[in-house]
Amino acid sequence: MSPEHEYNFDGLVGPSHNFAGLSLGNVASTGNVARTSNPKEAALQGLKKMRGLSKMGYRQAVLPPHERPHIPTLKKLGFSGTDAQIIEAAARTAPHLLAAVSSASAMWAANAATISSAAHTADGKTHFTPANLASMFHRAIEPEMTGNILKRIFACPDHFTHHNPLPTGLQFGDEGAANHTRLRANSSSPGLEVFVYGMAAFDKQKPRPAKYPARQTLEASQAIARLHGLSHQNAIFLQQNPNIIDAGVFHNDVISVGNENCFFFHQDAFQDSAKFQKDVRTRLPEIRFIEVPRDAVTVKDAVSTYLFNTQLLSDPDNPQHMRLIAPMECKENSRVHAYLENLLEQNTPIKDVSYIDVRESMRNGGGPACLRLRVLLNAAAKSSINPRVFLDDSLFHDLCYWVEKHYREELSPEDLADPNLLTECRTALDELTQIMELGSLYEFQSG
């Protein structure tokens, strides 16, 4: 079997990045509503994160942002006239809708899709299913564009299979890779795909959260496993603890993270953690579980610092050693920082922690792991992809210059009513497609 290596495809923060507090159940998002954002700083923080990981030896690539404000959605909702008139009318009569179609939430690429390794699928290809994001209106307008981007980048049918998003409806709510991870012994061996769900939609006798929505359903996870041609041997379904969803753990990647043969999670993360660990050990004896006790780190601390929305990465020079890429908030919380310092002294695969600044993303509800979509690629599959999406010195500098040229340093809720913002965003995206050699990707482009 050809070795598959992990590539982090990070979402590039869009020029309309703002704090609208649209995500029910995401404590950081709703807690920072109406603050003035800094789109330029947000995008540069994301690029510096990518650059830092690339310099450490990790394989790094870029996903472009979506067009925002999204005028086609406002037209579907009955607004008419010129684009400027549509924005003016929406700002005056339905500012909540204008905020929704202006969200730069596609930056959180962990929600873009679920991806299955070619080593696990029936046809031996990497499978992609864009998340339908059905639980939140501002995100439910993303799947079509997400699918177009993935098909443009992962275009070779010899290596990649693309599926449509699941049917809409809360019974098949799907939030993508934020509720999915892969475990394996090494880069040359198949492993397990772990699907984490919040509720069984059609079985109301099973536990479910009471306060906040369960955004991922068992039925959606099972459907994706079928679409991707996974077997019972390489797919496991695990229920999140409903109580922690009500505590603000809106996605599984806020309470656990997995990499290779290591799974790092909170004691209160799952409904039946003991059974899960037993099932995984039966299929993957090499697995190392790191369970964080609630006495050391509370769920509240985990949510406020995004301890588990870290990236858990194998050292490029020593795959048996792993590094956490953690937000600065983990270092600034005394209990979380103390736990991590103690963890590094224990006999676990995690040997290092690197702290990074992604505060603009954190304030809007997404940490380091939210910003990236993990894709396993063998050498042949990687060589079929347009090289201009992979981050190198040239692309990094071009993107930084592009951000400095086009992005605002301040964006308030009132600024969303400015029709010039649409023009600025479209001009920026048109230039981005040339920088990344993506062709005509957006609806406003004519050719």
Q: Left if phi > 0, otherwise alpha if psi is -120 to 50, otherwise beta: which for 248?
A: left
How many angstroms separate the CA atoms of 216 and 209, rounded?
12
Secondary structure (DSSP) of 107-156 = G-GGGTEEEE-TTTSTTSSEEEEE---TT-HHHHTSHHHHHHHHHHHS--
Alpha helix positions (H), 135-228: 137-140, 143-153, 218-227
Residue with tokens 């929704």: 100
User: Is the Cα torsion angle 59, 439, 14, 180 positive or negative in sign?
Assistant: negative
Query: For strand 372-377 and strand 318-327, is the pairing parallel, antiparallel, or unpaired?
Result: unpaired
End-to-end CA distance of the chain: 41
- Token pair, residue 13, equals 């923060």
169 Rama class: left (phi>0) / alpha (psi -120 to 50) / beta: left
CA separation for the pair 308, 303 (Å, rounded): 8
Q: Which of 214, 213, 209, 232 is nearest to 222 (CA)?
A: 232
* Cβ-Cβ contacts under 8 Å for 123 (sequence gap 6 or more): 161, 229
Q: Are 345 and 293 in contact (CB under 8 A)?
A: no
Judge whether 202 and 211 are in contact, CB under 8 Å. Answer: no
Closest CA to 283 of 189, 148, 398, 377: 189
Q: Which amino acid is at 3?
A: P
DSSP assignment of 307-331: TTSSEEEEETTEEEEEEEEEEHHHH
Instruction: Give me the active site residues, please.
Output: 175, 251, 370
- Side-chain half-sphere of 400: how many Cα atoms within 13 Å? 14
Q: Distance between CA atoms of 329 and 367, rounded to whole angstroms?
A: 10
Contact between 284 and 211 (Cβ < 8 Å): no
Burial class (CB in 10 A: 0-12, 13-18, 19+), 31: middle
